[in-house]
Structure 1
């Protein structure tokens, strides 16, 4: 049985209306009378935590309750929060509902990047994205017109580190040979190499939402998690959805470490080439992290789910920048129609070129040679070609 909890609904002290984050104004205020609320818009208080202490910190925190229910303070309806859901709106009266206690369970958020792209702008960005998708089903194009976008704060971990790496590999030098017949071939001679590279990583992001496809989330990155982040307050969640993290900073770190390794491998590759080699092959790399820290931050997104032929597709719009990402279905009728249209076009082009080629190959008849005999009894005569016309005339002899 789901645990029943009390939610925060952020009631206006002046008129009793609902307090929400006004995206256009970038301010927390009453949606009815515009009375301003108080939230810390600075990021000065955001803490970067020592990664080595994460396990102890999580163990000492309040347990995660899973699925919960609440009674709407506005209309009395029962609201169900999914296992990872921490903020929503009442399905009956649309009043904001935030399970603030659940959001703080485990390791609480350190910061939040507020929404800067409102629903109308997100719809427009989604509309342009959909229209640029070739062979998209009409049902997909209708989804943005019907307003099927939900605002949600997604849980992320970001990692900072100074990382040193020792690498081993090969540097390749190209040699070109030519045989007796003039044919050339290239041979690569490999030389063992090793070296050291290092880099400072700042806010490597990893999403920890249980219901989000990682590659879709990666497609809407980046966010300004340093300059654009504010100290976390549940007030930012009023009127939109939010999720609790699923795995934790330790389980998510390998994804961040993979990004770090890719960067260091690229640096090692370039360093080998700068040593005078034509190509490089980094075989192995050992990393050592220093000053490794993390923070828990909530990032804004607009989400649209679309079912097509029994399969669900998720689309996301970055709530800070408007960047769109998502996998899309293809319309078989549109593809077939395009193939048929393409074949018809090729057929027409072929016929045009064929007729043009036939016209160029047309052989005109050879000119005929006509000989005109003229009687010249008083003088001798000779045959003369009249200017290369092919007609021979008799001309009196000199």
Structure 2
């Protein structure tokens, strides 16, 4: 099933506008609230082969998608379409964070980010080589977790004192116990097999106060995917993700010791709730030195992540500068202590 939103004024296709948060018509400029958009202007079409082919209501062309796509655009007329059957039942997201960074803002922010690269090649910083930029709603599972930790450790305190001609070191040993309960809310894990997990993690944080109940008009004009992994399949990954926070918190409760040796750590994390959500991400493809570099931008905050190319010449110059500065400092110290400056 293909869903398209038609302008009540001129009949052209409407798309979600990140600046106004409304459905917008690029032809006549009309904007409509998503909550009050009338059903009579929502056009749906069914196809015999719904797994891969859909018919564009605008021009009649066949829209070819892979099985994971839930929103796309017609390759012939550019109309944004939402594949509603892939967003229903168990595949229906509970929440969505709409795009707030427009395509133009994303490109400007990316160019500024490139210019801040101190160790990137000069051509990379100055060239305008954006090969493509795509706004994608990426599927995530969001978890509310409850963790319980029981810790048994031995802490030491060391005291050094002088008595007569001798220096004594006294080491005291203490049994340390902790029984801690922790709650974590809205921990996101991407559920798309196409996306790089490390890159998706680095795009955090999002402002979850902007989460909205899912409505298909938010996807109009953007790409979107359905999840490849359910919440149970990703549970081990989200547990691993919060482990570092748990260990950090445990360490913060055990202070004042010269050393701490853990004898036993029993940590159990359980899922309280899970939510299927779509989060906005701009994928940017940058062509440099005959290679394509992929970057991602948080579609809500504008945060950019990725690995730009490194200039080995700049690295050598940087280390040379550090070495020269160190040499000058040492010479000044030598001079102040009575030695010659050169």
Separation in 1, partners of 2:168, 2:62: 76
Mind listing any 5+ residue stretches in structure 1 that lack a counterpart? 1-5, 42-64, 362-398
Separation in 2, partners of 1:126, 1:180: 69
Separation in 2, partners of 1:312, 1:200: 41
Q: Are the equivalent residues in 2 in contact too, given 1:149–1:304 (CA < 8 A)?
A: yes
Moved more, 74-83 or 194-203: 74-83
1:148 alignment partner, SS class: strand
Mind listing any 5+ residue stretches in structure 2 that lack a counterpart? 37-48
- Offset at 1:19? 1.4
Separation in 2, partners of 1:29, 1:172: 66
Q: Are the equivalent residues in 1 in contact too, given 2:18–2:100 (CA < 8 A)?
A: yes
Moved more, 137-146 or 295-304: 137-146
Aligned position for 2:61:
77
2:207 alignment partner, SS class: coil
Separation in 2, partners of 1:93, 1:176: 81
Aligned position for 1:152:
136
Q: Are the equivalent residues in 2 in contact too, given 1:265–1:282 (CA < 8 A)?
A: no
Instruction: Give TM-score scaled by structure 2 length.
Output: 0.79
Aligned position for 1:301:
281
Aligned position for 1:200:
183
Aligned position for 1:17:
12
Separation in 2, partners of 1:296, 1:342: 47
Cα distance 1:230–1:350, how it changes in 2: closer, same or farther (>3 A)?
A: closer
Cα distance 1:216–1:345, how it changes in 2: closer, same or farther (>3 A)?
A: closer
- Offset at 1:307? 5.8
Aligned position for 2:92:
108
Q: Are the equivalent residues in 1 in contact too, given 2:297–2:304 (CA < 8 A)?
A: yes
Q: Which has the larger radius of gyration?
A: 1
**What are the within-5 Å matches in structure 2 for residues 266-285 of structure 1?**
266-273=248-255, 276-282=256-262, 284-285=264-265
Deviations 1:349-393 (A, max 9, x none): 989x8xxx9xx97xxxxxxxxxxxxxxxxxxxxxxxxxxxxxxxx
**What are the within-5 Å matches in structure 2 for residues 114-125 of structure 1?**
114-125=98-109
Deviations 1:136-170 (A, max 9, x none): 24664467564732111111111113332212223
1:8 alignment partner, SS class: strand
Separation in 2, partners of 1:243, 1:185: 67
* Residue among 186, 192, 201 paired with 1:218: 201
- Offset at 1:87? 1.4
* Residue among 335, 339, 346 paired with 2:316: 339
Separation in 1, partners of 2:65, 2:144: 33
By percentage of residues, which structure has more strand?
2
Separation in 1, partners of 2:194, 2:66: 11
Aligned residue pairs, count? 322
Instruction: Give TM-score scaled by structure 1 length.
Output: 0.69
* Residue among 210, 222, 232 paired with 1:228: 210
